[in-house]
Amino acid sequence: MSATQVHDTGEKPTFYLTEDHHPENSTMLGFWLYLMSDCLIFAVLFATHGVLGRNYAAGPSPADLFDLSLVAINTAMLLLSSITYGFAMLQMERNAKMETLVWLGITGVFGAAFLALELYEFYHLIHEGAGPTRSAFLSSFFTLVGTHGLHVTFGIIWLVTLMVQVRKHGLTHENRRRLMCLSMFWHFLDVIWIGVFSFVYLLGVLG
């Protein structure tokens, strides 16, 4: 536990911590717990879609709505962003600040492209009358895919914030820890999206 010490020198007492007040292990443990809670959220959403995914209410089915070529391009954008983030972490290990920022920037561009294509898909579906209120299937689809897209949005905001911090303060121990946490979060979103692509899109169209 943290402790304080007082020097009796006749002057005003000086208090200071003798231990790190923010140990790295607790940060990583806390972030793993957060990811596990996110796993539970997505597990519930996947289960809900599994139950409601065939309830079309005499409306369009996945085969009528989904463009697998567009979804494949979108998937490639997110997977490429995961690869470029890995390059950023390699540059971080080399203590190469500018190279790390470049790869983080490329990761952000791929992430933004993923979001843009997802928003285009949502707009197209709603324009065709296949909004989230059309059927139980579409309600579960928009909730699951939209929740993942919201996570990617937060990830991009976090990414930009860390780029500012690294540019200003360099690859300090704290920034390295934050980049590592974001790395786990970003790769986690990739894994979730592979499940969405396989379970929602492929099985929906081909199943």
For the segment 47-66, what is each residue's pLDDT rounded down to a tens digit? 999 999 889 988 898 989 99
Burial grade of 83 (CB within 10 A; 0-12, 13-18, 19 or more)? middle
Report the C-alpha gap between 142 and 205 in whole angstroms: 16
Q: Tens of pLDDT along 9-57?
A: 556 665 544 445 555 567 778 888 999 999 999 999 999 999 998 899 8
Domains of the chain: 26-206 (1.20.120.80)
Rounded to two decimals, the pTM is: 0.85
Of 182, 158, 200, nearest in space to 82 by CA: 182
Cβ atoms of residues 81 and 196 within 8 Å: no
Residues whose CB falls within 8 Å of the CB of residue 49, separated by 6 or more in sequence, listed in order: 140, 141, 144, 199, 200
State the Cα torsion 185-102-197-186 to the nearest 10°: 0
Residue 145, SS3 per DSSP: helix
pLDDT of residue 24: 56
Q: Tens of pLDDT along 115-140?
A: 999 999 999 999 999 999 999 999 99
Give the whole-number percent of the chain exceeding pLDDT 90. Answer: 76
Residue 7, SS3 per DSSP: coil
Cβ atoms of residues 201 and 65 within 8 Å: no
pLDDT of residue 14: 54
pLDDT band at residue 2 under the 50/70/90 scheme: very low
pLDDT higher than 50, residue 1:
no
Across 21-25, 29-33, 150-154, 180-184, least confident range = 21-25
Report the C-alpha gap between 19 and 170 in whole angstroms: 24
Q: Tens of pLDDT along 189-205?
A: 999 999 999 999 998 88
Q: Which two tokens stand for residue 108?
A: 């952000």
